[in-house]
Structure formats: C-alpha cells, structure tokens
Amino acid sequence: MVKKKKRKLKIRNIIMMFIFLSLIIVGIFYLKEYLNPYKIENFSEMGYQTDEITFILSLSDEEKDIILNQEKIENIIKHYTIENYTEFIQIGYSDSEITQILDLDQTIQEYLLAQPYMKDIFNWLRIDNFIFNNIDRYQAYQEKYPKLLFEEVLEKVNTNRDFPYYSNIQSSDTSLGNLVLVNKYYALSEDYTPSDLISVSPYGSVKMVREAAEAFIELCDHAKEDGYTIKGISGYRSYQTQYNLYNRYLQKDPQSIVDTYSARAGHSEHQTGLAIDVSSNNPDILTFEMSSSFKWMKDHAHLYGFILRFEKGKEDITGYKYEPWHYRYVGKEIATLLYQTGLTFDEYVAINLMN
C-alpha cells in the first residue's frame, strides 16, 4: 500500500516537473518572441509587403538591424539583389530609369556610375546615331544650345561641328582605303600620295587610284551607251597643287569665302585619288548641272560606287557649297546605302567607322 502511494507520488512529481519545465520552455519562447526585434509585425508596420518581409528575414541579423533603424527602403529586394542598383538610386535615377540602364552595355553603365545624374541620356540613347565616345560632347553642346533637338545635337557632334572648321584637326585614317575621310577636321599629310594612280582615259586626262578609275571608266562607258557624255576634269591633286590652287583663290576672295568652295591643302579629297570633278560636253564644270548628263549621273553614279559628295541642303554638314560636279568613289555598297538613306559621307563615317 505504502509502495503504491510512493509510486503515485513519484509519477505526480514527474508530471509536475514536466509541466513546470514545459511552462519554462513556453515562457522562454514567448519571452524571446516578445523581445525579438525581427518580428514580422515590426517590418509590416514599416510598410514592407509580405514578399519583402520574407526576403528581409532571410538576411543576417546585422542587415536586419540596419533596415530597422532607417526609413523604409523602396524596392528593397532590388537594392540587395541587383548590382549597382543602390548606387544608381543615390545618383538620382528612378527605378524605371535603372531598369533601362541595366539593359545597356556595361561600359555605359560604368560611365553613368561615375557621373552626376544625366537627365538627357535616355533621349540620346533612343537615337540610332548615338556614339558612346561622344557622350561628354553631347552634354556640353546640349547645355550650350538647349533649344536644339536631341537629333540635331548628335548630328552636330558626330560630324565634329561642335568645333569650328579647321580646328581639332586629326589625321585621316588612310587604312580605311576607299572610305578614308578627308574634310575640314581630317587631313592628309603633306607627303601623302596614293599608290596605283592611273588615267581615266579616254574620259579625261586626269588620274585616280586604279579601282576608282576603272569604276569611272565603266560609268562613262554606260553613260555613253545611254547617250550621255561624262568626262573627268580634275582628279588626283597633290598637296602642293591644292596649296597653290587655294592661295590663288585667296587673291580674289576673303578666306571665309574661299573656305566655302575650296579645301585647304591636306584637306582636299582630290589628294586621296578617289575624287573627281566631272563635266559633259562643255568643259566648264559650272555648267554641268544644266546638262542632261547631270541627271543621268545623279541617278546612276551610286551603281558604280560614286556619290555626289557636296549635296544641296547639306552645306552645314559638308562645310562646302553645293557642287553638282564633284563625285567621290566609296564603292558600290556604301554608295548605294548613302543614295538610299540620304546620309552624307561625313555622317556615315562618324556613325559606322569611328564609333
């Protein structure tokens, strides 16, 4: 009987001990939960959504403490999971702008990270002719002429017209062959002479580089078959010849006027051996536009690789008055492209070869 009572007492004590320990454990749990600063409610009260809270709770306690001790972080998941997102926000870009930036080339992203907020960047990027290397010049020119359209800014800068004519002069890249650019910003050296010069005879006594000369002869042959006369009046000119010609013009006109119709030495396409001035039956090139041969040339020159180099209405781009007699050999593919698009050669080279 005594043993039975002792057994019951022992069992009761065990049960009481179990209950006591359970209460302690539950108490500790609730105390810990009460004292836990990382409760869902705490983050919810700050304005975070369920998915954001789930993400926050996956972070380290140190990171959670940082989040709790500041104002709500908009798009917090992006801040932690997208590289440079926080930096772009701090610069001043909006979430939608950052989405666009992250689709850009890494080089552009790195550039934007190192600059103050650029409000016009997205206007420039939407234009096909955007050249990354010109981005500082776009910004400077836009600030100088805020009323210009973004397309106008890019056109000016891409063709170096944010600089005065005959300033910021660079050496023409002769490795481009038929596509070498020579204008008021790109010049050939005094001793440059193209190799393989041949005559365009029987269609003139002038010379061009072989490929251009043969294309010109073919052009003249087909023009003759169609009943038109095309002749070469001036082809290759040396640096010294151009120097003498330009200075003769200076004897009758001010330099500001001469620069609109004649190139300074080193800046003439004729020195490349790829340019030719043409006429019809009348050897005076100034009458060429009035001939039927001009109409044929204008419509067919690109089929043989030639372009009308200084077009009407493009004087501000080319830097020269309209010259219906001056043609430049660039090859059939590029000539056809320029004929179809209306781009000047200056624009084409800037966009496609110097980008």
Report how far residue 125's alpha carbon sits from residue 128's, in angstroms, rounded to the nearest whole number: 7
Answer whether residue 332 is part of any domain. yes
What's the pLDDT score for residue 4? 59
Indicate if 90 and 73 belong to the same structural domain.
no
Both 90 and 227 in a single domain? no
Q: What pLDDT is attached to residue 33?
A: 47
pLDDT tens profile 261-290: 999 999 999 999 999 999 998 888 999 999
Query: How many independent structural domains does the chain possess?
Result: 3
pLDDT of residue 42: 86
The answer to whether position 164 is within a domain reads: no
Are 7 and 117 in the same domain? Answer: no
- Whichever domain contains 328, its CATH number is 3.30.1380.10
Residue 286, domain member (yes or no):
yes
- What's the pLDDT tens digit per position in 242-264? 999 999 999 999 999 999 999 99
> Omega into 164 within 30° of 0, i.e. cis?
no
Name residue 341's amino acid: T
Do residues 195 and 333 both lie within one domain? Answer: yes
Which pLDDT score is estimated for 198? Answer: 97
Q: Where among 53, 78, 103 does a domain terminate?
A: 78
Q: What 8-state DSSP symbol labels residue 111?
A: H
- Measure the CA–CA gap between 26 and 48, rounded to whole angstroms: 29
pTM, entire model: 0.76
Which residues, including other chains, have CB under 8 Å from residue 194's CB and lie 6 or more apart?
209, 236, 271, 272, 273, 274
Closest CA relative to residue 243, chosen from 286, 190, 197, 205: 190
pLDDT at 7: 66
Quick check: 47 pLDDT over 80?
A: yes
Domain-located, residue 28: yes
What is the identity of the amino acid at 31?
A: L
**70: in domain:** yes
Q: Which of 278, 305, 297, 265 is nearest to 177 (CA)?
A: 305
Residue 44 sits in which domain range?
2-78
Give residue-wise pLDDT tens across range 181-216: 999 999 999 999 999 999 999 999 999 999 999 999
Residues of the chain with pLDDT > 90, as a percent, come to 72
Q: Which of 154, 147, 117 is nearest to 133 (CA)?
A: 154
Flag whether 165 is in a domain: no
pLDDT of 15 above 80: no
Same domain, 216 and 302: yes
**In this structure, what token pair is assigned to residue 308?**
């009308």
Residue where a domain stops, chosen among 78, 113, 139: 78
Does residue 98 sit in the same domain as residue 146?
A: yes
175 with 308, same domain: the answer is yes
Shared-domain flag, residues 305 and 200: yes
Residue 6 lies in a domain: yes
CA distance linking residue 87 with residue 238, whole number of Å: 56
pLDDT tens column, 79-124: 999 999 999 999 999 999 999 999 988 999 999 999 999 988 898 8
Query: Coil, strand or helix: which one is 82?
Result: coil
Q: 75 — alpha (psi -120 to 50), left (phi > 0) or beta?
A: left
Distances (CA, A) of 321 to 248, 265, 324: 18, 18, 10
pLDDT for 132-168, tens place per residue? 889 999 999 999 999 999 999 999 999 999 999 999 9
Which alpha helices (H) appear in the chain, and where do they start and end?
A: 2-35, 40-45, 50-57, 61-68, 76-81, 85-91, 95-101, 106-113, 121-125, 135-144, 150-158, 210-225, 239-250, 255-258, 292-300, 315-318, 332-341, 345-352
Query: Is 163 among the domain residues?
Result: no
- Name the token pair of 69: 């001790």
Q: Where does a domain end: 123, 158, 193?
A: 158
Pick the closest to residue 323 from 261, 246, 245 (CA basis): 261
Q: Are residues 273 and 234 in the same domain?
A: yes
Distance between CA atoms of residues 215 and 274, nearest Å = 11
Could you tell me if 258 and 124 lie in one domain? no
Clarify whether residues 18 and 62 are in a common domain: yes
Kindly state whether residues 216 and 321 are assigned to the same domain.
yes
Average pLDDT over residues 326-354: 94
